[in-house]
Amino acid sequence: MYVRVLWLIATVWTTAQQALAQDYVGSEMCSDCHREQTEAWQTSHHALAWTEVDDGHVLADFDGTSFNHDGMSVSFMDQNGVLSASVTEKDGVTTDYPVHSVVGIAPLQQYLFETEPGRLQSFDVVWDTEEGRWYHLYPDQELPPNDGLHWTGPYKNWNARCAECHATGYVKNYNAEEKRYASTQVEIGVGCEACHGPGSAHLDWATGKAGKDGQGAFGFPKNWGRGQTEAEIQQCAGCHSRREALEDGNPLPGKPYHDAYNLAVLRPGAYHPDGQILDEVYVYGSFLQSRMYARGVGCMDCHDPHRADLKADGNGICTQCHSLAGNPDFPTLRLASYDTPEHHHHADDSAGAQCRNCHMIERVYMGVDGRRDHSFRIPRPDLGLGPDACTDCHEGRGRPWAAQQIANWFPDSNRRTAHYGTEFAAAGSGQLDEPEALLAIALDEAQAGIVRATALYLLQPLATPELAEKLMPALSDPDPLVRANAPVLQRQAPLNQRVSRLEPLLSDPMRNVRISAAKEFLSIPAQAMTPNQRASARQGMADWQRSISHRLDFPETHMVLGGWALTLRNAPAAERAFREVVALDPQRAEAWPMLVQLAHINRGPQAALAVLDEALSVLPDDPNLRQMAQNLGR
């Protein structure tokens, strides 16, 4: 019963989403009229993001090759055109998996196995397309088959974690009661309709079956082109960002980003304190920090949307704007010559003369995949808060040397000013005792929205009634990311003020804001609200519930539901939630102590001891569990 109500909500949504599939026509229908765009797209990383084995894009060697790693071995075979892998795990169990489908084209290619009907898992041994070799994505991790991070576990599940950005018209369709997937998509790969939307109405428009009056978008839900820069950025960001999806599968193109996703802020562990990339955060969170974004530059100013590649080679992509000629679309640009030794202070055509090497540091993910930071920042080795482009190349030199070199080259620069990263570093390390510095950043409209939202996030441990009052402007900030991170800071406000301040956000146009506000009403007694406020709170909670219902295959979702149940003082529901966590991922160490305590509350000491023994059988060396065992005389 625990997941049944949420599953029913998800089923209603999924049925509605599947009905939309009738409006899709497939990319092949576009080629007759849009031949040039189709030809550019067909060899792009978008088109080849996910392909069938029979499509001929398999690059790996399946001719009896093998790979061994940490007690696991695998043999790759081609038996009369049927590609498969025979995997012997560390526990000695051998299983043969036919290759279901192919992910990507360069610089690596990954292969999917169907481990049970409908469930696709991404294998950790992948093919390096440049070096022509098999390698393991996580060579430093010990991942036995019962670990949630093992390739068969929930975190490597393709249906839940990856498919929506590699398919068109995707619906996950997870049955939480049976723990089964019946996922569907219009086509695998990022096709025309992934960005333009279902094409049947456009075909009717183009063939005259439908009248053209009022068809400003040519039969599409959104018309891309001049004047749509922000909408285009948000369309790309749906996949090119570190975020939490609020729907099941692909939202229709043109849907505002913050109505479909909750964007991760610049949290420690994901970004460096100064906002540079650390973990695999993709692009959007970086780009939002940039001066280019603030001045109206969009993805398609640099990237061809159909080839999914840069519009020019080398420094040419930058000098289309950053030159003496400038670009009339961006009148605030300083007209100057940048592609010269007088600016970059390196020999022409050298690595140091490339704009991207100084202003877009590169970090490697998935073993071989180099990705560049899109915050387009000026190097600041003087700060020491994150990677430094100078010492990336000059490995034998330190940051003081690099800082002095830059000071010598640009003695009159006004860019070496105070940086928010200094305060973020102090907060992230627990060394910030007073909120004033973070408060100033959160309310500084000159800072990027994602920076101000991060300041709000870092202020949470310092929340007070006084701070809640000072942060009231953030509740009505123009940026939905700021508004979404502001409600939690109102928890310490007096009850009546908390209700009145948060109520308007329950009807915010952006779903991520509505959900953020609704969460805060969990701890507000019903008698503290008017009937209208209670009705608004119920609507907000329904929004949140619908969102959660789409992620019942995530262990972390049930952690949230367990906390929700505890807030409502519903110990039986909390126990069921934490039980679901360890069912999906037995290695989730933080769930087991909660489960032991809840078993004691709900069924007594013997039940708690039984759960503790179960937990220790999974995590015998966990210090918290061992301490609990000692306290209980085990």
Q: Give the Cβ contact number of residue 12 at 10 Å.
A: 12
CB 402 within 8 A of CB 317: no
- H/E stretch holding 389: helix 389-393
pLDDT at position 552, please? 97
If pLDDT is split at 50, 70 and 90, which confidence band does 492 have? very high
Token duo for residue 26: 């497939």
Could you give the CA distance from residue 399 to residue 383 in angstroms, rounded to a whole number? 9
**Looking at the predicted structure, is the pLDDT value of residue 20 above 70?**
no
CB 150 within 8 A of CB 130: no
pLDDT in tens, 533-580: 999 999 999 999 999 999 999 999 999 999 999 988 999 999 999 999
Q: Which of helix, strand or coil describes residue 522?
A: helix
Average pLDDT over residues 348-373: 97
If pLDDT is split at 50, 70 and 90, which confidence band does 19 have? very low
If pLDDT is split at 50, 70 and 90, which confidence band does 209 have? confident
If pLDDT is split at 50, 70 and 90, which confidence band does 3 have? low
Question: In whole numbers, what is the pLDDT of the chain averaged over residues?
Answer: 93
pLDDT at position 160, please? 97
pLDDT at position 632, please? 80
Average pLDDT over residues 57-77: 97
- Residue indicated by tokens 């049970």: 116
Could you give the CA distance from residue 154 to residue 156 in angstroms, rounded to a whole number? 6
Give every CB contact of residue 620 below 8 A, 6+ residues apart in sequence: none
Q: Which of helix, strand or coil describes residue 14?
A: helix
If pLDDT is split at 50, 70 and 90, which confidence band does 9 have? very low
Planar angle of CA 541, 543, 547, nearest 5 degrees: 115
Q: Which of helix, strand or coil describes residue 111?
A: strand
Residue whose C-alpha is closest to residue 85's, from 103, 105, 110, 107: 110
Token duo for residue 606: 């013997």
CB 67 within 8 A of CB 88: no
List C-alpha distances in Å: 537 to 3, 400, 468, 574.
22, 54, 20, 22
Q: In sequence order, what are the beta bridge partners of 244?
A: 262
If pLDDT is split at 50, 70 and 90, which confidence band does 5 have? very low
Q: Which of helix, strand or coil describes residue 149?
A: coil
pLDDT in tens, 286-321: 999 999 999 999 999 999 999 999 999 999 999 999
- H/E stretch holding 263: strand 261-263
pLDDT in tens, 589-607: 999 999 999 999 999 999 9
**Looking at the predicted structure, is the pLDDT value of residue 8 above 80?**
no
Could you give the CA distance from residue 497 to residue 250 in angstroms, rounded to a whole number? 38
pLDDT in tens, 130-142: 999 999 999 999 8
Residue 566, classified by CB atoms within 10 Å of its CB into exposed (0-12), middle (13-18) or buried (19+), is middle
**Looking at the predicted structure, is the pLDDT value of residue 212 above 70?**
no
Average pLDDT over residues 372-389: 95
Q: Is the peptide bond before 107 cis (omega within 30 degrees of 0)?
A: yes
**Per residue in 297-332, is it b (16+ CB within 10 Å) or e — as a string?**
bbbbbbeebbbbeeeeeebebbbebbbeebeeeeee
CB 100 within 8 A of CB 114: yes
Could you give the CA distance from residue 447 to residue 450 in angstroms, rounded to a whole number? 8
Q: Which of helix, strand or coil describes residue 500?
A: helix
Strands 108-116 and 125-128: antiparallel
Identity at 291, one-letter amino acid code:
R
Could you give the CA distance from residue 472 to residue 233 in angstroms, rounded to a whole number? 29
**Looking at the predicted structure, is the pLDDT value of residue 281 above 80?**
yes
**Looking at the predicted structure, is the pLDDT value of residue 397 above 80?**
yes
Q: How many CA atoms lie within 13 A of 537 on its CB side?
A: 22
pLDDT at position 353, please? 97
Per-residue DSSP letter, 433: -
**Looking at the predicted structure, is the pLDDT value of residue 12 above 60?**
no
Lowest mean pLDDT among 145-149, 215-219, 467-471: 215-219
pLDDT at position 6, please? 53
If pLDDT is split at 50, 70 and 90, which confidence band does 213 have? low
If pLDDT is split at 50, 70 and 90, which confidence band does 7 have? very low
Give the helix ranges, DSSP H, for 187-283. Answer: 192-196, 200-207, 229-237, 257-260
pLDDT at position 221, please? 83
Could you give the CA distance from residue 517 to residue 540 in angstroms, rounded to a whole number? 8
